[in-house]
Structure 1
Amino acid sequence: MTTERARAGLSLAPVPGYTGSELLAVMSGRLLKDGQTVFAGVGIPLLAAILAQKTHAPGLTILFEGGVIGPFVEAGKLPPSTNEQRCTRRANMLVSITEVLLMLQRGYVDVGFMGGAQIDRFGNLNSSFIGDPNAPKIRLPGTGGGNDIASLADMIVAMKHEKRRFVEKVDFITSPGFLDGGQTRAERGLPAGGMFRVVTDLGILGFDDTSRAMTVVALHPGVSAQDIKANTGFDIPVPADVPTTEAPTPEELAILRELDPQQLYTA
C-alpha cells in the first residue's frame, strides 16, 4: 500500500498491538471508496475518512454538518466538534448548515457515518432515550442531523459490539435503518439510502438483500462465530464460509497515531 507517509520515506516499522477504537477506524476507512462524498462526524468517523484519503481514496470528499466541505485537519489537532472553526482554514468550501442538508436532499452525499446507543436487527438506531418513552431510564443526545443522514444516504455505523447495544427492537427509532425489514423503508417514503455496514470490534455486519435483516459479513482476527452470537441480543446468522478481515497494518496504525498522538479518540 503506497501512501504519502511511505513516499516521504518515513518509518513503517511494525507497531505492536492496536486498540479497539483503532480497529474500528481502520475497518471503517477501508469501506470508503475513492470519489465518494462522506458525511463524517468527529472522532472515529473523521479518522476513518482521513485514513482512507491517505491510503486508497485520495479523491474522497469529507463533509461536516457545520458547513465545512473538505476540512483541513492537522495531525495532532483533531477538531472536538463539526462546528470547530480551525477546520475551515484551507478547507475546500464553507456553506451553511441548511446548504449541507440540501446537499443530502439532492443526493450529493454517498455515505454517512452514524452512531447510537442501540441498534436492532434491521439497522434502526436509537440515540434518544433508553426505556419507556413516558419515563425513560436514560436520556441521550438525540438526533442532531442523524435522521436526515439516515433517511437520505447509505450508512456506516461504528460501535462496540455489546448485547445491550444490539437489541431485538430499539426503544426508539432516532435514525431509520430498514424499519421493519423487507420493503418497509421504501413503502414509508424513504426510497434511497439505508444501512450499508455496521463495523464493530468483533466483525463487520451487513444486511440481507431481501429480508434486510442483519448478518455477519466478516469476523476480525481471533473472533469466532460464537463470540458474535454471545454479544448480540437477537439471532444473527453467521455463514459457514464467513471470511476473516485483514488486521490493521503498521502503515494504517502509524497514520492514525500521527493524527491522534494523544489518543483522544483511539485509546
Structure 2
Amino acid sequence: MTAPPLVTIDGVTRRFGAVTALDAVSLTLEAGVTGLLGPNGAGKTTLIRALATVEPPDAGSIHVLGDEATGPLAARTRVRRVIGYLPQELAFPRGMTAFTFLDYIAVLKEWSDTAARHAEVRRVLDLVDLGGRASARVRTLSGGQRRRLALGQAFIGDPDLLILDEPTTGLDPERRASLRAVLSARGAVGAVLLSTHQTEDVAALCERVVVLAEGRVRFDGTVSDFVGAAAGSVWLADREVPGAAVSWRTGTGRIRSIGGHPGPDAVPAEPSVEDAYLLMVGRRAADRVAVAA
C-alpha cells in the first residue's frame, strides 16, 4: 500500500490587489529534496509562506501530515510542530549569542526540558559548523555565519518537513557543500523544499524540480527529465545563435547559446539545469541572469 504524501497542496491561489501571485497551484511532496525554481515574482516565496502557515492563501488548501496548514489554529499549530522554516531574511534579537538564540527558538518550539533542549542546541550548532562559536554574540558573526545560524533554527527537532528559502545565499563553497550533505541526509527520512536561484544546488542535490512562473507550475518532475528537455537546444559556436534566449562567451572562447536557430558551425552541447531553466522560462529569466552576472 502506497503511503500518502507528506504534503498536499491543492488549488492554492493568492492575490495581492490586481496581481495573482499564485494561480490554483497544486503539488504533493514526499520524502526527498525538491528544488523550487522560478524568476523573481513567480510566486515562490508566497507559496513557501503559505506552506509555513505564515500567510494563508485566498483559496485552496494545504495539508501537512494530515493536518490542514490552512485550517483552524489548532491544526496550524500541529503543522508548525513538524516543520522547520527558513525565510529569505531572518532578524536576530539584539544581544543574543549563537547558543542563546537557538535556545530561544527551541523554547518557542516547546522544548521544555532544559537538559534535552541544550543538548539539541549543541547538536544543531555542530550541524551548521558553529559549535566553536556558541558563545559569540550574533552581531560579531560574519554574514555567512549568521546565515548558517538562521539555518540552524530550522533544523531544531529534526522536522519532518524543511522549508528553505534561498538557504545557500552568502555561503562559501565549502559550507555550501556541507549543507548539501546535511540536506541530503534529511531528504532520506523527510521532505525538503528548497527554493533557490542557485541552479547548481538543484543539480547537485535535488531529485525533483518544480518550476513556477507567473504563479503557475510550469514543470514538475525529475531533474534528469528537466535537463533532458533541453537536449538539442544548447549550442556552442563561434557566434551567437539567432533567436537564442541568451548567449555568452565561455572560457574557451566559444559562444554558448540557449535555444534559437543554429547555423552549420554550431555543435550541440550537454545541457545543464540552468540551460533547461532558461529555455523554459524564456527571455525574462535570461535578462535577470544577465543583470545578476
Q: State whether TM-score is above 0.5.
A: no
Q: TM-score normalized by structure 1?
A: 0.33
Q: TM-score normalized by structure 2?
A: 0.31
